[in-house]
Structure 1
């Protein structure tokens, strides 16, 4: 028996025991589905977030007050809370940094806001932000309709707003929102611009659920506590980023009156640091997902070995006939190994396909907007299929090869 004949024999055996083969292949496919699905979803979400970081610019960084509104505890001790970054400090930083980089100042107003217009209202999950003339450009948001804030509106704090696409769909379906009025946080705002759709990001609304106000307008809104402002600094020359980070640290320490030897009362976060954090998190998720998938595949390999042992027992007489006709122990071993590998590959192909679809489905629900094809994990899955087939089929194949032909022919 040559290799091709052994493969044909494997398929003949599979067809003669179709139900058992299908059930065994399904066990293997579940294991591969878990492995490829988990890893695909992780990589798809990572790619989506990397694209988001790239759109924000790799040559930018954000400055926020350290520990502001921090309620987390570390080892039973609450983290130190520093004073909020004020509008005066933000303006001083912007003025002192000069023209070497572009600075955008923003303030978070509300993250659970309901907007109303024309008797309709949005879900109470819209985000209201206040920003200066550079905010949209630095954040990478584009206008689909209308215009940005004028200098006069920014200076006097006019009641104007730029809204996201989801707000338009809820309040102004089949019409332009520009020139219409919307009510939020007890005030009535004239819509002067509409943001281009951005899609969701990790379950959030991105720019689609955003209502942007002029910075001075946000500062005038009634609130329970003082606003904390954020600064985003960007440069058109990536080579300047290390220099700008040093400059920003020195200026902010001076603006915030941090004494010599005292820790920074602010934190600087660049897109590079976010990418590193994401890599660390995705690495831990891969390890966890790999452990879960390994346990599933271990169960699948044990089930396959059991099925192959049953197959050897049922075909003992057939093995005796083949040996009597001249088949060697190597050929018998090869026959059963190929049969185990074929079952694994059939089940694995189904599991890999379902894993790719399932992983992208999970990523889509969480917020990834693109379809990701994990060629590497598909290749790894195929290698695992063959490996599981070899490991699970080795013992049954060895047992079949060691059978005595005379005793096998007598077997009933």
Structure 2
């Protein structure tokens, strides 16, 4: 009996025990459905979010002080050179010169642990205060839900105005109270609220912009009494394909402003900004791991069920195995027959599971937000590979047991 005949015999056996095949295949299909369905839904939701934020942050790069920790670095026993921080006037000068290439925003974190007051109400000392200009929210992709952005006059003269996150509003204002044009105070200064940001949520931990206050960067520079603030410029390139070229231009502009000599290394650093797409990919990666784990556990249960059914099949067909061995079938051919049966059942269940998984995954993704129909070819291939592995793993022991049966004893069975 060659391999092709063994495959045909396995298919005939599957067809002869149709009800058992359907029930066993359904067990496998449920596992594959959970695996493919969750992964399809995750990819579909991610694709919709990426489409909503298409290009956000993809063309941006930061010009900032060299070395973000502020500590003296030691490498190979040598103290690394410490460069002066990018000053406010240098950042503004860069922004003005770079304006012929593309828009940019100057900002600096004043503190990450400020206590905000409104009358007798106080917040916890965990509010971040950032000095920004009027282009910051557009370049960073942050929307203002109520109120307005800073005006040119407020940016130029550094007026005591601010834009706040929703967590700050919920902490300091009661329900039904309008925060616009009301006052809050910190560092002994009173600021007028001119805008409230849209709720951002957090990606990868942290409050994000929800627990933050933004003030004009000129105003923030006045709070820098010791000259320790780190100013950063986020520039927006015109085209992702020209980003490296524009980063080179930015390097030339900043070297001129910082008066870096020819042959000396840059006294600042330029790095590509972390885009929303990269953050989403990181979160989606964690979700995929969770979905794959749940699907794998379901498939493990299905594999145990398949092994149990194959063991019953070996017991039921003991006499048939004895006849095959008496006619010259080798233990290898007997093992092949039962392994092929297990794999065929898994593949049939896998086909059903993939179809159901794609359908359910797209339904879930489109229920959350309208989008197209996603066919996850990678997960389809993974699903079928898993089906074959499950078939081999769950069918090997029953097949080995069948190949070890004594033909004389098998013919006496029943």
TM-score, normalised relative to structure 2:
0.69
Could you tell me which residue of structure 2 aligns to residue 3 of structure 1? 11
CA pair 56-292 structure 1, distance change in 2 beyond 3 A: closer
CA pair 283-49 structure 1, distance change in 2 beyond 3 A: closer
Could you tell me which residue of structure 2 aligns to residue 67 of structure 1? 67
CA pair 72-36 structure 1, distance change in 2 beyond 3 A: farther
- State how far apart, in whole Å, the 2-side matches of 1:8 and 1:191 are: 77
Shift of 1:302: 9.4
CA contact (8 A) 2:31 2:302 kept: no
CA contact (8 A) 1:132 1:214 kept: yes
1:389 and 2:364 equivalent? no
Shift of 1:60: 2.9
Secondary structure of the residue aligned to 1:388 is helix
Q: Deviations over 1:223-255 (max 9, x none)?
A: 665111011222556666444322211111121
1:103 and 2:104 equivalent? yes
TM-score, normalised relative to structure 1:
0.69
Could you tell me which residue of structure 2 aligns to residue 12 of structure 1? 20
Could you tell me which residue of structure 2 aligns to residue 127 of structure 1? 128
- State how far apart, in whole Å, the 2-side matches of 1:285 and 1:73 are: 33
Could you tell me which residue of structure 1 aligns to residue 172 of structure 2? 171
- State how far apart, in whole Å, the 1-side matches of 2:76 and 2:15 are: 64
Q: What are the residue-to-residue correspondences of 1:352-391 with 2, within 5 Å?
A: 375-391=376-392
- State how far apart, in whole Å, the 1-side matches of 2:293 and 2:51 are: 28
CA contact (8 A) 2:338 2:398 kept: no
- State how far apart, in whole Å, the 1-side matches of 2:189 and 2:128 are: 15
CA contact (8 A) 2:158 2:219 kept: yes
CA contact (8 A) 2:319 2:413 kept: no
Shift of 1:297: 11
- State how far apart, in whole Å, the 2-side matches of 1:5 and 1:315 are: 12
Shift of 1:262: 1.5
Secondary structure of the residue aligned to 2:392 is helix
CA pair 277-140 structure 1, distance change in 2 beyond 3 A: closer
Give aligned pairs, total.
Answer: 387
Q: Deviations over 1:41-62 (max 9, x none)?
A: 9979986996798453433322
Shift of 1:165: 2.4
Gaps in structure 1 of 5+ consecutive residues = 361-369
CA pair 112-282 structure 1, distance change in 2 beyond 3 A: same
- State how far apart, in whole Å, the 1-side matches of 2:72 and 2:376 are: 40
